[in-house]
């Protein structure tokens, strides 16, 4: 079993998943139980490029980017928990039961949580939830699949 020292900052996360700014949507991992669950944070700044057009005068984080942040969080958990080779990545494969319960605004801090529901042969299913101030913003079940890119 791997040993992980928390918190994981963006520079550490970049060693685990391939995403980079401005598309790295996980700022910090604050809790991790390998093969079980993860909790991470994403600070939402008014300087995010998508706010210029979504929506002028009423900036709201696009729901697909909240889902992407959750998928990246799940990918960090999967990569650290399961046997993964250097030339393998976890890709977002599917989403079910997605619910968007509150908008996410500039200045919010997203709390990103993922729990492993099951994993077999490089495919993991996760229960994911994004919250702001203890209020659920988005929840879903997602599947990530490991793929050799070498």
- Note the pLDDT tens digit of each residue in 55-110: 999 999 999 999 999 999 999 999 999 988 889 999 999 999 999 999 999 999 99
What is the reported pTM?
0.96
What lies within 8 Å, CB to CB, of 19 at 6+ separation is 25, 26, 72
- Note the pLDDT tens digit of each residue in 6-49: 999 999 999 999 999 999 999 999 999 999 999 999 999 999 99
| CATH class of domain segment(s) 8-148 | alpha beta
Q: Both tokens of residue 4?
A: 């992980």
pLDDT of residue 130: 99
pLDDT of residue 37: 99
Catalytic (active-site) positions: 54
**CA distance readout (Å), 137 to 13, 15, 84, 91:** 23, 28, 31, 23
């Amino acid at each position: 079993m791997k040993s992980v020292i928390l918190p994981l900052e963006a520079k550490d996360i970049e060693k685990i998943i391939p995403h980079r700014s401005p598309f790295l949507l996980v700022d910090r991992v604050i809790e991790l139980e390998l093969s079980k669950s993860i909790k991470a944070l994403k600070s939402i700044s008014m300087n995010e490029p998508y706010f210029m057009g979504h929506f002028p005068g009423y900036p709201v984080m696009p729901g697909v980017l909240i889902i992407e942040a959750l998928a990246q969080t799940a990918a960090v958990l999967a990569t650290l928990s399961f046997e993964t080779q250097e030339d393998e990545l976890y890709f977002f494969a599917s989403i079910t039961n997605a619910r968007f319960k509150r908008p996410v605004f500039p200045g919010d801090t997203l709390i990103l949580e993922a729990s492993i529901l099951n994993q077999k042969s490089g495919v993991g299913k996760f229960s994911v939830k994004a919250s702001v101030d203890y209020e659920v913003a988005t929840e879903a079940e997602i599947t990530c699949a490991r793929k050799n890119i070498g």
